[in-house]
Amino acid sequence: MENFFKRLAFMGLGIFSTTRKKIKQGVDKMVKQGELTAAQGEKLYKKLVKDIEKTHKEISKRVDAGVKATMSKMGLVKKTEVEKLERRILQLEKKLAVYQKEAKSKAPAKTKASKSRCRTNKTATKKK
């Protein structure tokens, strides 16, 4: 899902790049036709590109906000959130392994003698 939106953003960048070229061509044409001087053409080009960059940033912010809102409504999580949870799970698994190892070392070892005592006690109580 995120990749789709990234591709969409890159398409927007491609359009932005194409728009710059078209503006440059249009301004150059106006200079050739004598409608503008070279200095005026350069100034106009810079102004138009600056305006387009500003608009592009505003649109990007709105798209980002829309994507985040949509992902939130759909119950989707970010990749970074999943990675954070995976790291937390690994930490907990390591702690659990340590606790299990400690519990095994503290538990009394069962021997054959202790097992046989249990059996003899059972038989003794049955005979009574």
Q: How many domains does one find in the chain? A: 2
CA atoms within 13 Å, Cβ hemisphere of 55: 11
Going by pLDDT thresholds of 50, 70 and 90, the confidence category of residue 84 is very high
In a domain, 124, yes or no: no
In this structure, the answer to whether residues 59 and 16 fall within a common structural domain is yes
| pLDDT score of 56 more than 60 | yes
Backbone φ and ψ of 107, nearest 5°: -70, 140
Q: Structure tokens of 88?
A: 């937390």
**Mean pLDDT, residues 62-83 taken together:** 86
In this structure, the answer to whether residues 35 and 48 fall within a common structural domain is yes
pLDDT tens track for 87-127: 999 999 999 999 999 888 887 766 555 555 555 555 555 55
Cβ atoms 9, 63 nearer than 8 A = yes
Query: Domain of 61?
Result: 1-76
Cβ atoms 80, 33 nearer than 8 A = no
Higher-confidence residue of 108 and 79: namely: 79
- Residue 45 CB neighbour total at 10 angstroms: 19
